[in-house]
Amino acid sequence: MVRRKPWAAVNFLLPVAVVFAIQPYKWWSRFTMVLLAAGMIGLAYCIDRAPARTSTAAKAVVVVLAAVGLWLCSAKVDQTITAARILHLLTLPREERTIGKIAYPPFEWVDTIDRHARIAVDTTTPAVGSAPHILFFYPLFGSHFERRVYPLAGRSEAEFHRR
């Protein structure tokens, strides 16, 4: 593509590079999926242009690697979420598929409180990283972000009560 149609290559690779450059957290997979698309197109192009024997071997390698990738996605990486468990969870009624019941039992109490409750979180604890933000508490916001979540970052008891 670079030799025959350089502008086609630029029109394909430049947007990918720009999107990659302006996104936050560059190495989080959800932000870099566009690189996967570029890589897959390049891989398919290379396999298509390779000599017959090399192309056949490359296709076999790609199929094996895809199978390994699928297996890794469903392997017991964190000992709780597997492909079989995901399929089982999908058969549960909607009200039983909550963060607390499925992935993180310490948040199960959130399912029992009012939909529009206000929740205050002590962000000074080491488990939270002593950060003054509440980003890591997204399950507390509710499935439709209907709850208000406030940080309690007071360093003293008086400041805590004031907040």
Query: Do residues 62 and 118 both lie within one domain?
Result: no
Query: 122 vs 7, 53, 114, 127, CA distance in Å?
Result: 54, 62, 20, 10
Q: Of how many residues is the chain composed?
A: 163
The whole-number pLDDT of residue 129 equals 47
| Average pLDDT along the chain | 79
Place of tokens 């891989």: 43
Tens of pLDDT, residue by residue over 90-136, are 898 987 888 777 777 788 888 888 888 888 877 766 555 444 444 56
Do 147 and 140 form a contact (C-beta atoms < 8 A)?
A: yes
| pTM of the predicted structure, to 2 decimals | 0.43
Residue-range definition of the domain harbouring residue 26: 6-74
Identify whether 83 is part of a domain: no
Average pLDDT over residues 153-157: 73
Identify whether 94 is part of a domain: no
Number of domains within the chain: 2
Query: Do residues 119 and 69 both lie within one domain?
Result: no
Identify whether 106 is part of a domain: no
Identify whether 102 is part of a domain: no
**Rounded Cα gap, residues 116 and 143, in angstroms:** 11
Identify whether 64 is part of a domain: yes
